[in-house]
Structure 1
Amino acid sequence: MRVPSLRLPGRGPEGESSEGRLTGTVRLDRRTKRLCGRLEPGDIAVIDHVDLDRVAADTLVGTDVAVVVNAAKSISGRYPNLGPEVLVSNGIVLIDDVGDEIFDLVREGKQVSVEGNQVFLGDQLLGEGILQTEESVSEDMETAKEGLSVQLEAFAANTMEYLKRERDLLLDGVGVPDVRTDFNGRHALIVIRGYNYKEDIDVLRPYIREFKPVLVGVDGGADALLEAGYRPDMIVGDMDSVSDDALRCGAEIVVHAYADGRAPGMERMDKLGVPAIPFPAAATSEDIAMLMADEKGAELICAVGTHVTMVEFLDKGRGGMASTFLTRLRVGGKLVDAKGVSRLYRQDMSISALLLLIISALAAMATAIAISTVGRSFVDVIADWWDGLIFQIQRLFS
């Protein structure tokens, strides 16, 4: 396969060391979410992410990375995951299945090169894999659809297991911690940095102004709120993808802990000197945010960036997503998904419609002036003023 002729984003021609070869700074991490915080435009990202999901891919695209080298298979065939299509459609070179050894062969910050399906450190071959294109991703996605039935059966089994483990939390709210944030009788806006979250927040601005809901950011959702100009009232999550600035913004912090009580996120909060409350649960962070809002008396829960379709559930690639299904059954009576609102109603106005509105307004004003006595007198005054101005200008040059 042939690599398309590309230049590294944010760099000049020096980004290409030779025809068809891309050179850039390598950054490595087995956790894609953690790596994205260190990536800069034009970098070569080395990840270890089986079945790359769309949220991770969107984040990689947002960093303006040039190349993504995956030690694992971006599409394993278990189900049609959405991430690889996002990368290749945005012009990012994706090389798959290069092998785990690449993490031992190169250090972060080194200059490496990519040519075809091979990765080099100088003249040393670090690994070779599969160069993904739009065509190859499409073929793999079609094959992966055959695995949906197996994944759906596993998803159903996991849902039953989760129901047995977290029955008290789901049915009676047992284990929800006491918090100072007041949800009672108010709306709660829960923001996850997921699919189309920016568009959804933008559409909800009039709603936020009018109802002033409790603003809850789930991990990186707190940064999404700050970027949109809002300060979160509460931040919920395991604290691995939220910035220090967000954690210090004054919001109440609820750290998602494992069911056995272990809470790695509390260590980070201790280092920052920010008080936090642990919430042990086997559910996902977005689920415990919804369960907390429901248990604390929220009148309505509006969700931004959450997962609503079967493919989105599976695209997360985690057994814990079964909790999301059950959580929606629990809070469904008061849950509104912002994705539906943004698709149903958009505030965008076309340029042609705006011009037509302006022309109509001017025509109406002209008609009103023409048919009224006051309007004709006003026109006469303006005409006399204009004649006087022309006369004065002519005297200056005569």
Structure 2
Amino acid sequence: MQHIGIAKLGKRTKSLVKRLKAGDIAIIDHVDLDRVTAESLIDAGVEVVINASSFISGRYPNIGPLLMASEGIYLIDAVEEDVFNQIKEGDEIVVRGDKIFHKGKVLASGKTLTVPIIKEKMEEAKKNIGAELEKFATNTLYYMQKEKDLLLEGMKVPESSVNFNGRHTLIVVRGHHYKADLKILRSYIKEVRPILIGVDGGADALLQEGYKPDIIVGDMDSVSDEALNSGAELIVHAYKDGSAPGLERLKKMNLPSKLFNALGTSEDIAMILAYEKGADLIVAVGTHANLVEFLDKGRAGMASTFLVRLKIGEKLVDAKGVSKLYQSRAKISHLIILVFAAFTTTITIIMSSTTIRGILRLIILKIRLYWGF
């Protein structure tokens, strides 16, 4: 099988997907490709993904490659980093088998991944999950000692122009099932009108559903310019040492922002912000809450996540998977009953109205005369 397309290269996959168009060939350097990134590549419409690293290293059974292969995307694995020197952005390249050609010359080669091969690799990776869990738990306990101020001490949160008191807050993160869960919450958002917080790319998820985020929290590296210019209040996640990589981007765009110095993830500090500002209820969509998701995210431990959830307690409602919990389906029997009820109501109205009965008789008479009855 042969594929021809324009090469688009990027070692930060979440930045690369913003430049991809249907039919492009994506060249990445992403070990253990995660579900959310895979879904982004699928949505971009790429035909081929070439990885300088391993799609599945064997540490744990990441599902990203299987999702892409199941959608018909051609995968070439472990091409090595030199591919970034051999191929330039915008080159028209040809992928034939496990080899990559440009102007008839072989530039690189790797290993073709198919669904059966990926499933076999995932089965092998499952054998290592015990060791990964042990390392993960040890790391988490270590960071719980460092991050305990999230739970035991009051955190200094930045001022906000948004009034949280007594209101619900919806926090959207680009995680597993975030799109489906956000769609299923449409009625809730319309009726309750919660404060909408997008965590980095979660702000774009809100915009795609027709909502304007009130606040955007995060490193500001995976959120679009459109979202940043939407008028939302911008809170940049800064590290304990004061560094805030996302701040430079906002300065270049002349956008005002505030800093939130804290350990933990951006989704953690978004929850802390809502909690400390007096939110009545915090609804989380797409947040990371299990081992595979944290390994996907590249974070060794989930200490801050444990601590934040302990601190927030009953105020937090995790909407993850709510689209799987209940899906309304209109049955044929329900539609028949609805049509019959409407028909019965119409007949009742007609029979009880002298005027309408007279009009109907006139119509019937005209039809009979027209057809010569």
Into which bin does the TM-score normalised by the smaller protein fall? Answer: over 0.9
Match of 1:277 in 2: 258
Letter in 1 for 2:272: L
Match of 2:363 in 1: 386
What is the aligned counterpart of 2:294 among 313, 316, 323?
313
After superposition, the C-alpha distances for 1:237-291 in whole angstroms (9 at most, x for unaligned) are 1111111111111111011122211111111111111111112223111111111
TM-score after normalising by structure 1: 0.88
Using the aligned pairs only, state the percent identity.
Answer: 51
Q: Is the 8 A contact 1:159 1:326 kept in 2?
A: no
The question of 1:298 aligning with 2:275 is answered: no
The residue correspondences of 1:161-172 to structure 2 (distance < 5 A) are: 161-172=142-153
Match of 1:355 in 2: 335
Letter in 1 for 2:362: W
What is the aligned counterpart of 1:106 among 87, 105, 124?
87
The question of 1:242 aligning with 2:219 is answered: no
State the secondary structure of the residue aligned to 1:339: coil
State the secondary structure of the residue aligned to 2:128: helix
State the secondary structure of the residue aligned to 2:320: helix
Match of 2:156 in 1: 175
Q: Is the 8 A contact 1:80 1:315 kept in 2?
A: no
State the secondary structure of the residue aligned to 1:152: helix
After superposition, the C-alpha distances for 1:20-67 in whole angstroms (9 at most, x for unaligned) are 211100011111000001001000000000000001000010100110
Letter in 1 for 2:366: L
Paired with 1:183 and 1:320, the residues of 2 have a C-alpha distance of: 30
The residue correspondences of 1:49-198 to structure 2 (distance < 5 A) are: 49-198=30-179
After superposition, the C-alpha distances for 1:294-344 in whole angstroms (9 at most, x for unaligned) are 121111110111123332232223225443233223323211122243223
After superposition, the C-alpha distances for 1:81-127 in whole angstroms (9 at most, x for unaligned) are 11111110111011110101001111100001111111111222222
Letter in 2 for 1:237: G
Paired with 1:353 and 1:28, the residues of 2 have a C-alpha distance of: 53
Structure 1 residue 213 displacement after superposition: 0.8
Structure 1 residue 177 displacement after superposition: 2.1
Structure 1 residue 363 displacement after superposition: 4.6
Structure 1 residue 389 displacement after superposition: 2.9
The question of 1:47 aligning with 2:28 is answered: yes
Q: Is the 8 A contact 1:66 1:92 kept in 2?
A: yes
1:32–1:353 Cα change, 3 Å? farther
Structure 1: gaps spanning 5 or more residues: 1-19
Letter in 2 for 1:272: M
Letter in 1 for 2:55: S
Paired with 2:123 and 2:277, the residues of 1 have a C-alpha distance of: 44
Q: Is the 8 A contact 1:112 1:119 kept in 2?
A: yes
1:151–1:332 Cα change, 3 Å? farther
Paired with 1:378 and 1:326, the residues of 2 have a C-alpha distance of: 72
1:88–1:362 Cα change, 3 Å? same
State the secondary structure of the residue aligned to 1:50: coil
Structure 1 residue 367 displacement after superposition: 6.4
Paired with 1:132 and 1:42, the residues of 2 have a C-alpha distance of: 19
Letter in 1 for 2:258: I
State the secondary structure of the residue aligned to 2:33: coil
Q: Is the 8 A contact 1:190 1:289 kept in 2?
A: yes
**Structure 1, 61-70 or 158-167: larger mean CA deviation:** 158-167
Paired with 1:353 and 1:36, the residues of 2 have a C-alpha distance of: 44
1:196–1:43 Cα change, 3 Å? same
State the secondary structure of the residue aligned to 2:150: helix
TM-score after normalising by structure 2: 0.93
State the secondary structure of the residue aligned to 2:108: strand
1:360–1:61 Cα change, 3 Å? same
State the secondary structure of the residue aligned to 1:37: coil
1:120–1:73 Cα change, 3 Å? same
